[in-house]
A and B are shown apart, each in its own frame.
Chain A
Amino acid sequence: MDHPTPTIRVQAEDFDLPFEIAALTAGRHDIGAVVTFSGLCRDEQGALSALELEHYPGMAEAEIRRIGALAIERFSLLGLTAVHRYGKIMPGENIVLVIATSPHRQAAFDGANFVMDFLKTSAPFWKKEHAVDGAARDWVSAKDADDQAQEKWQ
């Protein structure tokens, strides 16, 4: 069986959830489950004015595409969209989107979860925090919990 090609984008501009869901489901009668994950910038109890996301152009897309292809094969997904933003992102704004579709819910849940866990640890993006007083804070540290989340899929 041919696997679907994931839709992968790395972009500065925002994305639109209903539009992206419709693009995966329009005209199809085989999809029984759509799982959507979106990650937002939070303000860390008012301390954070923005996040600045740096990425490795080219490699960022390629790495998400590789992860997406693994997820499609492993969970027999019917479709997958992943969008990751870069640049300055304010609290409340979107950072990342993953949509997985499948005939039944478990594969779509697992597929979206798998993509996020691998994206966190292997897609080349880095977050820098900006404080409300205008000062650049520091680069966000990688979390052991993210490595452990990825290892559960081994």
Chain B
Amino acid sequence: MAKLVYFAWVRERIGKAEEEIDIPAGVVTVRDLLNHLRTLGEEYEHALQYPEVIRVAIEQEHVDHSEALGNAREIGIFPPMTGG
């Protein structure tokens, strides 16, 4: 089980701020996870239809899409940042 946390328009489009999911066998990298989530329903597809713009953090640290999920406990999924 991993906790997924969503922010900004990713959160709004998916319709929840966080959820626990089982990561299926075969979902190894961040890219795999984003593609897997897109199969879960149209709200996920709407949020993640352009996965290349989506930013991901594992245990609250930025990671590339090629990063292995390993035993990640918390995976943050969000749009490019616009603070400051």
Q: Do A and B come from one complex?
A: yes
Contact of A121 among B9, B57, B79, B81 (CB under 8 A): B81
User: Which partner residue on chain A sits nearest B83 by CB separation?
Assistant: A125
Query: How many B residues have CB within 8 A of the partner chain?
Result: 16
B79 touches A142 (CB 8 A): yes
Which B residues are CB-close (under 8 A) to A141?
80, 82
Which residues of B are found within 8 Å of A126, using beta-carbon distances? Answer: 7-9, 78-79, 81-83
Q: How many A-B residue pairs have CB under 8 A?
A: 72
Spell out B's residues near A (CB within 8 Å): 5, 7-9, 57, 60-62, 76, 78-84
Contact with B along A102-129 (1 / 0, CB 8 A): 0000000000000010011111111110
Which residues of chain A have a CB within 8 Å of any CB of chain B? 39, 53-56, 58-60, 62-63, 84, 95-96, 116, 119-128, 139-142, 146
- State in angstroms the CA–CA spacing of A119 and B81 once bound together: 9
